[in-house]
Amino acid sequence: MTKFFPFWWENQPNYSESNGLTKNTDVVVVGAGFTGLSAAITLAKSGVSVVVFDSEELGNGASTRNGGMLGSGHKVSPQQAEEKYGLDVAGQIHKEANASLAFTTNLIKENNIDCDLQICGRLRASWIPQDQFSMSENLKKLKTIDDFNSRMIDSSKMSESINTDLYFGGQYYEDHGSVQPRKFHYGLHQLAINSGAKVFGNMPVKQITQLSADEGAGFIVSVANEFISCKDVLIATNGYTRSSLSKYLSRRILPVPSFIITTDEIGAERVNSLIPGGHCIVETRKRYCYYRPTPCGKRIMIGTRAAMHSMSAEKALPVLKKTLSEIFPELDGVNISHCWTGFTGFSFSMLPNLGCHDGIYSAMGYCGNGVAMAPYLGHMAALKILEPDKKVTVFEGTSLQTRPYYYGFPWFLPIVSVYFNVYDKFDNYRRRKNL
């Protein structure tokens, strides 16, 4: 029987509850995912009093639902970034992708966070030959910007990494890794508490009111049935940002669902025969398919955008099963132990953003790449709160845009789903032509 909650949640310890909610604090953080907890750690370690609120039970957002693929990289190519932001900023955008991976890997190592960290590398597999060419051009460009520890893999060498003949080669990222995300989140939560932050679950923030238009006047935060006064507020709600909290942000962040399944235990030998490289694998296909062995090495986890719009995990299950057997035909019919979904947060610029609107800070817009970037940007948001006049990251300049007729309910995502399905069919046609 398939369970419809994350595999990562099985047999995990409960989060310890903070107590003694104070009526005054320096900073209120809204959202206790990777972003919010990382910000809280940096703030608390700097001697600032900080309270983090989450509307749900702790560990319910994307931070414990993701694929645990720890990597760098943006949805925007160096070329696209250069056209929009100019050469220098484009370079910085890609350097900070690398910096986010180094930051989060160090955060785990320095604090001995027990989260099954493996520097297993990541393979980006080409669905069509044109993808192999454009990745190779991108890589040449990236290597002029920073020391990117990545190389192209020829199609004849793919069998060293994966036992399927679906792909036309790939790009291998040496320094990328994987974590068990629920364990990583739990470790960050403990670190935040031990640093002096208070973290509360089941406390939805309803309203944030600026005390006066004067800079530094502070805020009153209405949370559950309490009112807390504070100097600064950071909103760290990413794909779970609703217009009831912030009309401004909900018009600028699209909640795009992703869906994951894990197989029953099929044995380490079988997993190893299918993914001999042991890497995390992502495809270049528009539907964005990603898979990896679980930390025990006995199961395969595979995720994809079964649809761009929200649907239940139960409904997405057949699509995920079909994708799994398309990649590994011998897994057709294998039992699926878990199937779940969660929301990523997409910005219209396709880049993360650290912003400040009406005096309220926000850090979000990871576009599905948040395991390394969210803790990094949370940390950067904390540095910004500590030193508001200093520019701390290039993502202060990747402004959040909105679109006409978008008021926080992504009515057009079903249409985008259809577009992606058609695009997939077109890609499949281009594949067949090359086979």
Ligand X SMILES: Cc1cc2nc3c(=O)[nH]c(=O)nc-3n(C[C@H](O)[C@H](O)[C@H](O)COP(=O)(O)OP(=O)(O)OC[C@H]3O[C@@H](n4cnc5c(N)ncnc54)[C@H](O)[C@@H]3O)c2cc1C
Residues that bind ligand X (CB under 6 A): 30-36, 53-56, 60-63, 65-69, 204-205, 236-240, 242, 245, 258, 260, 303, 342-344, 364, 366, 368-371, 374
Q: Whose Cβ is closer to ligand X: residue 129's or residue 204's?
A: 204
Shortest distance (Å) from residue 176 CB to ligand X:
10
How is residue 92 written in tokens? 């910085």
Angle at the Cα of 348 from the Cα atoms of 317 and 204, rounded to 5 degrees:
70
Q: Whose Cβ is closer to ligand X: residue 82's or residue 124's?
A: 124
Shortest distance (Å) from residue 108 CB to ligand X:
14
If phi > 0 it is left, if psi is from -120 to 50 it is alpha, else beta; for residue 89 that is: alpha
Shortest distance (Å) from residue 214 CB to ligand X:
26
Q: Whose Cβ is closer to ligand X: residue 69's or residue 274's?
A: 69
* Cα distances (angstroms) measured from residue 330 to each of 281, 282, 327, 421: 18, 20, 9, 25
Q: Whose Cβ is closer to ligand X: residue 69's or residue 380's?
A: 69
Q: Looking at the DSSP assignment, which residues form a beta bridge with residue 281?
A: 123, 291
Q: Whose Cβ is closer to ligand X: residue 236's or residue 281's?
A: 236
Residues 6+ apart with CB under 8 A from 120: 176, 177, 178, 278, 279, 280, 292
Shortest distance (Å) from residue 18 CB to ligand X:
14
Shortest distance (Å) from residue 245 CB to ligand X:
4
Q: Whose Cβ is closer to ligand X: residue 236's or residue 392's?
A: 236
Residues 268 and 428: their CA atoms lie apart, in Å, by: 32
Residues 98 and 261: their CA atoms lie apart, in Å, by: 29
Q: Whose Cβ is closer to ligand X: residue 31's or residue 82's?
A: 31
Cα 49 to the center of its chain, rounded Å? 27
Shortest distance (Å) from residue 37 CB to ligand X:
7
One-letter-per-residue 3-state SS of the chain: CCECCCHHHCCCCCCCCCCCCCCEEEEEEECCCHHHHHHHHHHHHCCCCEEEECCCCCCCCHHHCCCCEECCCCCCCHHHHHHHHCHHHHHHHHHHHHHHHHHHHHHHHHCCCCCCCECCCEEEECCCHHHHHHHHHHHHHHHHHCCCCEEEECHHHHHHCCCCCCCCCEEEECCCEECCHHHHHHHHHHHHHHCCCEEECCCCEEEEEECCCCCCCCEEEEECCEEEEEEEEEECCHHHCCCCCCHHHHCCEEEEEEEEEEECCCCHHHHHHHCCCCCEEEECCCCCCEEEECCCCCCEEEEECCCCCCCCHHHHHHHHHHHHHHHCHHHCCCCEEEEEEEEEEEECCCCCEEEEECCEEEEECCCCCHHHHHHHHHHHHHHHHHCCCCCCCHHHCCCCCCCCCCCCCCCCHHHHHHHHHHHHHHHHHHHHHHC
Shortest distance (Å) from residue 313 CB to ligand X:
10
Shortest distance (Å) from residue 292 CB to ligand X:
8
Q: Whose Cβ is closer to ligand X: residue 82's or residue 190's?
A: 190
Shortest distance (Å) from residue 76 CB to ligand X:
15
Q: Whose Cβ is closer to ligand X: residue 33's or residue 82's?
A: 33
Q: Whose Cβ is closer to ligand X: residue 172's or residue 366's?
A: 366
Using CB positions, name the residue nearest to ligand X: 370
Q: Whose Cβ is closer to ligand X: residue 30's or residue 125's?
A: 30
Shortest distance (Å) from residue 6 CB to ligand X:
8
Shortest distance (Å) from residue 241 CB to ligand X:
6
Shortest distance (Å) from residue 367 CB to ligand X:
8
Q: Whose Cβ is closer to ligand X: residue 77's or residue 341's?
A: 341
